[in-house]
Amino acid sequence: MTLFNHTAILNSHSNVVNILDEGNTTTAYDVDAKVVTIDTTKYNAAKTELDNLAYQAQRAAEYPDMGTQLDYIYHNGIDKWKTDIVDPVKAKYPKPE
């Protein structure tokens, strides 16, 4: 097995309670410490869903704090805020199709 995204494993395999990475191998275990075979179809669907949501975290990290944004709106208006702050971040981290 290769390295896998732990969140995607947990989201796609409800019986997994522990995941270990050793070298370039990821092994998932159930409650009885037995190895769980990863169903790649389920895993890939969960990983795609996570990847499609990654832009949200990237955008959130890029935006200024709420106080700064509200101050910008107060001094410059909503249209300028959208043009100067919101649109560049959305362009940098577009929503997946």
Residue numbers of the domain that contains 46? 1-54
DSSP 1: -
In this structure, the answer to whether residues 69 and 46 fall within a common structural domain is: no
Name 22's bridge partners: 25
The reported pTM is 0.63
DSSP 96: P
pLDDT of residue 2: 59
In this structure, the answer to whether residues 49 and 67 fall within a common structural domain is: no
**How many domains is the chain built from?**
2
In this structure, the answer to whether residues 50 and 71 fall within a common structural domain is: no
Q: In whole angstroms, give the CA distance from residue 76 to residue 64.
A: 15
In this structure, the answer to whether residues 45 and 4 fall within a common structural domain is: yes
Q: Tokens 């092994």 belong to which residue? A: 27
Three-state secondary-structure class, residue 65: coil
Report DSSP letters for 29-70, one per residue.
Answer: E-TTSPEEPP-HHHHHHHHHHHHHHHHHHHHHHHSPPHHHHH
In this structure, the answer to whether residues 47 and 69 fall within a common structural domain is: no
69: nearest Cα among 87, 56, 82? 82
pLDDT in tens, the chain (97 residues): 457 899 999 999 999 999 999 988 999 999 999 999 999 999 999 999 998 888 999 999 999 999 999 999 999 999 999 999 999 999 999 988 7
In this structure, the answer to whether residues 41 and 81 fall within a common structural domain is: no
